[in-house]
Chain A
Amino acid sequence: MKLLVCISNVPDTTTKVRFADNQTRFDATGVQWIINPWDELALTRAVDLKEDSNNPVSEVVVINVGSVETEPTLRKCLAIGADKAIRIDTVPKDAFQTAKQIASLAQKNAFDFIICGIESGDYNSSSVGGMIAEFLDTVSVSSVSDIQFQEGKAIVERDVAAGKEYIQMEGNAVLIVQKGFAKEPKIPNMRGIMMARQKPLEVIPANDANALTEYIGFQLPEPKAKVKMVNADQMTELVNFLSKEAKVL
């Protein structure tokens, strides 16, 4: 079985975000870039599945749509244990354009499962996975929190409002995954980092997919009012604040 894990390259979570050109674009000056945390969980589990010989997974490929600047992130994916990385060489404007790039690659290469993190830490769109599935006219399962293989078939666990559902699948699907799929991201070890240098990182040209939306401006939120401190012995006062002032009790 071949897995394709989609990787978004995002600013480190602790980045202090700033915008440039009259607040119209993200200012990347001095920003540390990381594997999108949800994609990192997806990759972690994909690599674990491959490394456990009880599972039918034989190959893990990672893909990113981005400029040459995303390559350190793809190298890190290789160090974590992906076999091969693909970069589609364009800076996408929105999720639709990203998804169309990945879908056109997936059309030409057979992957049993395409795996996407449920959200990206930059634009928080939660869109690419579902869009890829629709471009490919294939099944998608979202909010996936676990996967197990039984007799060559995958049992996928998803969260729904009422609880959990377990879906049997034989592949040819997009999985949109969240925490639980893996619980903690894998840290690359020295051997992984050394091996990553030998692994293929293929760069392919983008197609002419269009975007349907555009980011035209950004704002930082209003600074929050200062916290009101309540003495630890005055819990009645806190309850009063919560009921009369905040109106939440």
Chain B
Amino acid sequence: MSVLVYIQNFGSKLKKQNFEVASYGSKLAESMQCPAIAVVMGTMEDSELEKLGNYGISKTLKVTDEGFNTLINKLFTQVVQQVVVQEKVTTVIFPDNNEGKAIAPRLSVKLNAGFVSGVVSMPVTLEPFIISKRVFSGKALAQVQINSPLKIISLAINSFGLHEAKTVNQIVSFEPKVSVDDQSTKIVDRKIHSEGISLLDADRVVSGGRGMKGPENWKPLEELAKVIGAATACSRPVSDAGWRSHEEHVGQTGKIIAPNLYIAVGISGATQHVAGISRSKCIVAINNDPDAPIFEVADYGVIGDAAQILPKLTEAVKAFKGE
């Protein structure tokens, strides 16, 4: 019996969210009195993989063939399934992100294992297995019971945090019985993000809405983002109007994020927008309308004109950092 953690390979590197999933997995394994193990697809140095041992992972199976450097949903599902069988895994944990969403539902069918996505805490009970997840885009929590012997869950990013638990992490190669030259997902081109901080990974986000009054006014917002090391985002009216790229759209149909700090500038706070940001640890709202609904979800609020407030806030942060 063991708990398996799926470790996403970020260009041969690990990220904080990997350690969070590992922390969750080892905590769960502890309550089930079994080991927490990990699987990693694609090339990664052992020195990098060893770090998983800091978060309670006692064994890591690496699937190093270069053919696994590109996500192929069907193939990756087969590999994880083979690991589950070999290692007698009872619970599999994925990150609730693009890659987790690509593989976990497929694995659920392959293993006939109930799957609950976007969980935010440890199970309420293990027998029966009941766990909480967010539903209705964060407007409620649900308790879901998994009725199959094998269980799959995906953990909402930034919901559990890091919990160190030093363990010796044994790294072994895993040779899956699959055809690596799978041609079903033929990549013909790639565009790599080069600049800026990726919105989905960002610890801090500065976001602009219609109250910014036009794309020409974004400079002070970008300045603030740069000074605090934040990604930039926007609300839907802004991306619909073409002021900013739709890649920056945060909200229900756009990106759903959970940074530690979210600064909403000139964003009124429509339900659709709040659905995309409500899991942020701390929300600051800057708006000239004291009745804007964004103040109902914000931790800190400032009433006033963005054009005047943003430079002052940037200066205050610089002073705080001693620049």
Interface residues of A (CB under 8 A from B): 11, 13-15, 17, 19, 37-38, 41, 94-96, 99, 118, 121-131, 133-135, 138-143, 155, 159-169, 173, 176, 178-180, 183-184, 211-221, 224-225, 227-233, 235-236, 238-243, 246, 248-249
A125 and B114 contacting across the interface, CB-CB below 8 Å:
no
A122 to B141, CA, bound (A): 11
User: Which residues of chain B have C-beta atoms less than 8 A from A126's C-beta?
Assistant: 96, 101, 105, 117-118
- Judge whether A14 and B190 touch: CB under 8 Å: no
The CA of A212 and the CA of B112, in the complex, are separated in Å by 8
Asked if B106 and A238 sit within 8 Å, CB to CB, the answer is no
Residues on B facing A (Cβ under 8 Å): 8, 10-11, 70-71, 73-74, 77, 96-99, 101-110, 112-118, 130, 133-148, 184-193, 198, 200-201, 204, 228, 239-240, 246-247, 249, 252-254, 260-261, 271-272, 275, 281-282, 284-285, 295-305, 308-309, 312-313, 315-317, 319-320
CB-based contact A131/B105 at 8 Å: yes
The interface residues of chain B lying within 8 Å CB-to-CB of A242 are 261, 282, 284, 300
| Pairs across A and B, CB under 8 Å, 7 listed | A121-B137, A123-B136, A127-B108, A134-B105, A155-B188, A166-B190, A216-B144
Minimum C-beta distance from A230 to chain B (A): 5
A140 to B247 alpha-carbon distance, docked (Å): 22
CB–CB B71/A238 < 8 A = no
- Secondary structure of the A contact surface, majority rule: mixed
Q: Do A123 and B142 have beta carbons less than 8 Å apart?
A: yes
Residues in chain A near residue B114, CB distance under 8 A: 94, 96, 212-213
Beta-carbon contact of B105 and A239 below 8 Å: no
A45 to B61, CA, bound (A): 41
Given A228-B301, A232-B308, is A248 in contact with B136 using a C-beta cutoff of 8 Å? no
**Given A99-B109, A248-B261, 11 additional A-B pairs, CB 8 A:** A130-B101, A134-B109, A140-B106, A162-B190, A167-B186, A212-B108, A216-B143, A219-B143, A225-B299, A227-B299, A249-B261
Tell me which of A13, A217, A239 contacts B143 (CB under 8 A): A217
Known: A214-B145, A214-B147. A133 touches B296 (CB 8 A): no
- State in angstroms the CA–CA spacing of A238 and B71 once bound together: 43
Q: For the complex, give the distance between the alpha carbons of A43 and B24 in Å.
A: 37
Closest CB in chain B relative to A156 CB, distance in Å:
9
> Which of B106, B116, B146, B190 neighbours the largest number of chain A CB atoms within 10 Å of its CB?
B106
Docked-complex contact A130 and B272, CB < 8 angstroms: no
Contact indicator A122/B136 (Cβ below 8 Å): yes
A208 to B239 alpha-carbon distance, docked (Å): 44
* B contact residues around A163 at 8 Å (CB): 190-193
Partner of B317 from A131, A133, A239 at Cβ < 8 Å: A239
Known contacts A242-B282, A249-B261; decide if A142 and B141 are in contact (CB<8 Å): no
Residue of A whose beta carbon sits closest to that of B308:
A232
Say which residue of B103, B110, B135, B308 sits within 8 Å of A123 (CB atoms).
B135
Instruction: List, in ascending order, chain A residues with CB within 8 A of B102's CB.
Output: 130, 140, 142-143, 176
